[in-house]
Amino acid sequence: MTKDLTPLPLDHLALAGARGAPALVDKAGMWTHAELDAAVGAVAAWLRAQGMAPGDRVASWLAKTRLACVLPLAAARAGVVHVPVNPMLKHAQVAHILADSGAKLLIAGAARAGTLGAGELPDDCVLVDEGGVPLEGEGLGASNAGPYDLAAILYTSGSTGRPKGVMLSHANLWLGAISVARYLKITPDDRVLGVLPLSFDYGQNQLLSTWAAGGCVVPLDYLTARDVIKAVDRFDITTIAGVPPLWVQLLEAEWPSDIAAKLRRLTNSGGALTPRLVLGLRERFPRADLYPMYGLTEAFRSTYLDPALVDAHPQSIGRAIPFAEVLIVRADGTRAAPGEPGELVHAGPLVAQGYWQDAERTALRFRPAPDFSEHGGMAVWSGDTAIEDEGGLLRFVGRDDEMIKSAGNRISPTEIEEAVMAGGDVVEAAAFGVADPRLGQAITVVASARGDAGAVEAALRERLRRDLPAFMQPQRYVWLTALPRNANGKLDRAALKTQVTS
């Protein structure tokens, strides 16, 4: 891929596909790419008519309606900044996002809007029912926004304190869409099932990368794995993007072989795939290419692993995606040697513009790239530890602030979790270091068991005594029916850590 592709305004993605080809399909029917563009123009014109000035923020708190799918492009066309709010968030979290972003407009359904209490809607923010926003009518033409103009503020899930807004430009989102569309090899014939929240960078990219490739999105708000199976069958889905907890649910469901065979592509981010999950997905969906990926909202996406390498390197996060430069850096700022752990640093045009109105936290995470960077400029210092092997493949070790320091050893919680789950008798697991006067930190595992937890724990302890060194043995297990998740469907590690340390 060329590295100098000129970023276009984000709303130009509505013009990327063949005009008569399907762009969006749901229970209400089908939109062509021409109809998608018309809807983008109509909503953009409506936003302008509400008195929204360039740079103003419009927030949306919506299920995966057609309006929710259109708003990222319509706001960009109108010159305003989109602030998507996860529909699973509660009113207090929404109130914080509205106040922090300075949103002038909130578009929401009546049920959600009705949960906002007195004073939670800022005085200068107008609430509009989603039914009042037209998807047809006289529209605005494509914009001529600059590549570094602000297009969106995506708020983190808030699992570690209050949500913070990541500022994304037209270039960030445009190049992210082009990059993913190309390395996933999405075609106009693909139908991508949109199961992830559209407020999640990975979820929003389901829309943008598919439309960049001229493909079709099928948005789905699902309650059970069975809903996903029905949608794959009804809409001839070729691609699903997911996070590990979703794959666990889908593998536990019954899939008719003819429906499973429709899937050509499975993409994963938001947590590492365990070898057992890889094996399960391979067996259940034999015709699907599997793309493990690693990313962070501050840099959109960093790496992907080519499907041809998954079986031989199931624990790898692959190599840098197009337009990204990924570096492994020692504490002194120099390049780490192959096999040597270091901080994963992401440079290049996918790096976000920082945190909205938070210079202090921006300065901590966004810093100049190391001297040996080819791209230079501002980089995201992830806080994640990774290792690059002799062949250039990367392996995620863990977050520095999550590493367990026990008896003088630095232990990756990911390694403990993979070992716990390797036997197949544990559904999910999360490992933490808990203060211990003798060890510094003792390893505690929170997990859900297949069957009787007592019997599973006894067998697990016996197996791990064989598989792990003494210093990596968990001291305590906490068994739950199901592990809690945050609003993006990831394991809520902060809540779990609070539970085991309080």
Query: Sheet containing 440-449: which strands, arranged edge to edge?
Result: 426-436, 440-449, 476-479
The answer to whether position 474 is within a domain reads yes
**Residues in CB range of 441: below 8 A, 6 or more apart:** 404, 405, 406, 433, 434, 435
pLDDT of residue 389 exceeding 90 = yes
* Residue 322 is assigned to a structural domain of this protein: yes
pLDDT of residue 33: 97
Residue at a domain's end among 399, 425, 451:
399
pLDDT confidence of 1, banded at 50, 70, 90? very low
Which backbone phi and psi does 199 adopt, to 5 degrees? -85, -10
Question: Looking at the structure, do residues 379 and 408 belong to the same domain, yes or no?
Answer: no
Shared domain for 352 and 249, answered yes or no, is: yes
**Pick from 399, 419, 434: which residue ends a domain?**
399
> Is residue 130 included in any domain, yes or no?
no
Question: Which among 176, 224, 228 is positioned nearest to 203, based on CA atoms?
Answer: 176
Domain of 280 in residue numbering reads as 222-399
Q: List the beta bridge partners of residue 351.
A: none
| List of residues 6+ apart from 458 with CB closer than 8 A | none
- Answer yes or no: is 155 within a domain: no
* Closest listed residue to residue 94, CA positions, set 115, 65, 109: 115
- Residue-wise pLDDT tens digits, 233-259: 999 999 999 988 789 889 999 999 999
393 plus 322 within the same structural domain:
yes
List beta partners, residue 491.
485
Would residue 68 count as lying in a domain? Answer: no
Q: Is residue 165 part of a domain?
A: no
Averaged over 440-452, what is the pLDDT? Answer: 93
Same structural domain for residues 422 and 367?
no
Q: How many residues does the chain have?
A: 502
How far apart, in Å, are the Cα atoms of 477 and each of 17, 247, 445, 455? 52, 24, 5, 12
Question: Residue 271: is its pLDDT beyond 80?
Answer: no
Taking a C-beta distance cutoff of 8 angstroms, is the pair 109, 129 a contact?
yes
Q: Are residues 385 and 484 in the same domain?
A: no
List phi, psi (to 5°) of 398.
160, 170
* pLDDT tens digit sequence for 40-99: 999 999 999 999 999 999 999 999 999 999 999 999 999 999 999 988 877 878 999 999
253 & 372 share domain: yes
- The whole-number average pLDDT for the span 107-130 is 94
* 341 & 386 share domain: yes
CATH number at residue 421: 3.30.300.30
* Residue 132: predicted pLDDT: 96
C-alpha distance from residue 495 to each of 36, 85, 427, 458 (Å): 40, 21, 18, 26
Give the CATH number of the domain where residue 325 resides: 3.40.50.12780
User: What integer pLDDT is reported at residue 4 of this predicted model?
Assistant: 55
Q: Quick one: pLDDT band at residue 158, thresholds 50, 70, 90?
A: very low
Average pLDDT, the chain: 92
pLDDT digit string (tens) for 306-322?
999 999 998 899 999 99
Is 19 within a domain? no
Task: For residue 135, give both structure tokens.
Answer: 């998807």
Domain C-terminal end among 399, 424, 448 = 399
The better pLDDT of the pair 416, 403 is held by 416
Do residue 334 and residue 230 come from a single domain?
yes
Q: Say if residue 497 is in the same domain as residue 393.
A: no
Structural domains of the chain, count: 2
Nearest to 67 by CA among 97, 95, 28: 28
**Whether the predicted pLDDT of 224 surpasses 50:** yes
Distances in whole angstroms, Cα of residue 396 to Cα of each of 400, 415, 443: 11, 10, 20
* Within-domain flag for 483: yes
424 and 387, same domain (yes or no): no
Residues 427 and 376 in one domain: no
pLDDT of 162: 67
Two tokens, residue 246: 């979703």
Q: In this predicted structure, what is the pLDDT of residue 314?
A: 84
Cβ within 8 Å of residue 209, ≥6 positions away: 176, 177, 178, 179, 180, 181, 184, 186
State CA 175 to chain mean position distance: 16
Q: How far apart are CA 65 and CA 82, in angstroms?
A: 16
pLDDT at 30 > cutoff 80: yes
Are residue 412 and residue 339 in the same domain, yes or no? no
